[in-house]
Amino acid sequence: MPTASRHESRERALSLLYEAEAKGITPSALLEELPVPAHPFAVELVRGVEEHRAGIDELIARFAIDWKLERMAVVDRLVLRIAAFELLERPDIPVGATISEAVELAKTYSTEESGRFVNGVLASVAAQVRDPVLASDSDREAGPERPARTDEEPVWPNERGC
């Protein structure tokens, strides 16, 4: 079997998940029907999304403010599921690579706006699942050890040093 890049495997996983949803069958059943097996990474993504779907959907729903999963564009929802699975189960893949690939897939197969939407949701998901310190900091109010940000311009001394 020829070697597929991770990008190609993600595209294949997206198409397989889309096909399974369109046919109303499980992704596993679709994988069994394939005349030629998909690349192992594509299969891992498809099976991973299927096996962890409830937790993945809960995580996506938490950060997709004002968007119910069933109301999202199908491609956006599937791209988010694939990337969320990677963020949760594949710590060896850098966060930036996962998010960049997902944004590219959303822009290519959905809309230009989908890229921004996917990026925003996945950035929040990544902060939650990959960097617990960052996630807990964002939930905490600024205290004395961390001053609050200000939008004021800095005060610079005039030319005479006053």
Q: Is residue 28 part of a domain?
A: yes
In the chain, % of residues over pLDDT 70: 79
Assess contact for 37 and 1: CB atoms under 8 A: yes
Q: Is residue 150 part of a domain?
A: no
Please report which confidence band the pLDDT of residue 154 belongs to, taking 50, 70 and 90 as the band edges. very low
Report whether pLDDT(2) > 70. Answer: no
Q: What integer best gives the mean pLDDT of the chain?
A: 84
CATH number, position 33: 1.10.940.10
Q: Is residue 145 part of a domain?
A: no
**What are the angstrom distances between the C-alpha of 127 and each of 131, 141, 147?**
5, 17, 21
Q: Is residue 49 part of a domain?
A: yes
**Looking at the 3D structure of the chain, how many domains does it have?**
1
Q: Is residue 103 part of a domain?
A: yes
Q: Is residue 10 part of a domain?
A: yes
Q: Is residue 160 part of a domain?
A: no
**Domain containing 25: what range?**
6-137
Please report which confidence band the pLDDT of residue 155 belongs to, taking 50, 70 and 90 as the band edges. very low
**What does the CA dihedral 110, 111, 116, 120 come to, rounded to 10 degrees?**
-30
| pTM score of the predicted model | 0.79
Q: Is residue 48 part of a domain?
A: yes
